[in-house]
Structure 1
Amino acid sequence: MEARKRLLIVAHVPSPNTRKLLEAVERGARNPDIEAVDVKVMAPLDAGPEDVLACDAIILGTTENLGYMSGALKDFFDRSYYPCLEKTQGLPFAFYIRAGHDGTGTHRAIESITTGLRWRLACDPVLCRGEYQNAFEEQCEELGMYVAASLDAGLF
């Protein structure tokens, strides 16, 4: 029997709408057709390097705060960067941003940190820009399903 893969979802959810996005990502990742992936969902302030070291892929979720990622996700990176730097190179990751504006600063910040970590982007990020739309939830569910199904299929 093949070992189960571990997907870590670390997301900042300060509002009902961002909670819906996280729930959509998790729903996609827990799709019943995905058989050999364990999903762990954590808030950024609760997650740390030991969680990253124990996973096979990670999905990050954040709001756009003053043109940057949330302080909670930045704190997660601050605590995890050096302990993970040499040990998680090539880690598949994906992310989504709930952006009231354009999300470019947040995207650039996540890209910069994950490039330094040498993590591997698994798919295009989901940028939920502007006024809230239900379509954001569909996009986030697809993101979760894609990453978990890719893990399940042994693609990473």
Structure 2
Amino acid sequence: MKRLNIIAHTPSENTVKLRDAIVAGASDKALKTVEIVTSSPLETKPEQLLTADAIVLFTPENFGYMSGALKDLFDRSFYNILEKTQGLPYALCVRAGKDGTGTVRSVESITKGLNWRQIQPPLVLKGEYHPDFEHKAHEYGQIIAAGLEVGLW
């Protein structure tokens, strides 16, 4: 089994819906060899990052930056995982009220420092909430898990 960790900060009803859509897509019944592990950044321990075969990070845009919860995870984990997760495949999904640029940039600066490998362009769901965001999040989760299953990353 390959392990896909979905680490999602979900402070609102809409972000919960989006996390659930990512998880549902990644949990597609056609995928037989991918185990999905879901946690919030505040619950996630550095050891969980060490056992992941790939990671999906989900964060709302907060003041043009990643959520404080996701930043806390990086603060607690960075030096514990720095040498041990080089090349770790990851993807990023952002729920942005504005444009998400600062959020993407802040996450990418840390993941580049960790030498993680971005496997999909960030999915930035910006502007007023739209139910179509859930469809996009579902597809994103499905693509990441399917790629992991067939060995693309």
Whether 2:114 is the aligned partner of 1:117: answer: yes
Identify the match of residue 81 of structure 1 among 66, 78, 82: 78
Alignment partners' CA distance in 2, 1:119 and 1:135: 29
For structure 1, which runs of at least 5 residues remain unmatched after alignment?
none
The alpha carbon displacement at 1:80 in A equals 1.2
Secondary structure of residue in 2 paired with 1:66:
coil
Alignment partners' CA distance in 2, 1:49 and 1:152: 23
Whether 2:39 is the aligned partner of 1:42: answer: yes
Identify the match of residue 123 of structure 2 among 104, 122, 126: 126
Deviations 1:83-115 (A, max 9, x none): 111010110000100111111110100010000
Q: Counterparts of 1:100-111 in structure 2 under 5 Å?
A: 100-111=97-108
Deviations 1:16-62 (A, max 9, x none): 10000000000000000111000000010000210000110000000
Alignment partners' CA distance in 2, 1:80 and 1:143: 25
Q: Give the TM-score, by structure 1 length.
A: 0.96
The alpha carbon displacement at 1:143 in A equals 1.1
Q: Identity rate of aligned residues, in percent? A: 53
Partner of 2:48: 51
Aligned partner letter, 2:32: E
Runs of 4+ in 1 over 4 A off after TM superposition: none
Aligned partner letter, 1:44: P
Alignment partners' CA distance in 2, 1:89 and 1:147: 19
For structure 2, which runs of at least 5 residues remain unmatched after alignment?
none
Alignment partners' CA distance in 2, 1:142 and 1:122: 14
Identify the match of residue 93 of structure 1 among 90, 93, 108: 90
Q: Give the TM-score, by structure 2 length.
A: 0.98
Give aligned pairs, total.
Answer: 153
Alignment partners' CA distance in 2, 1:143 and 1:77: 23
Aligned partner letter, 1:144: G
Whether 2:5 is the aligned partner of 1:16: answer: no
What is the aligned-residue RMSD (CA, Å)? 0.6
Alignment partners' CA distance in 1, 2:38 and 2:51: 13
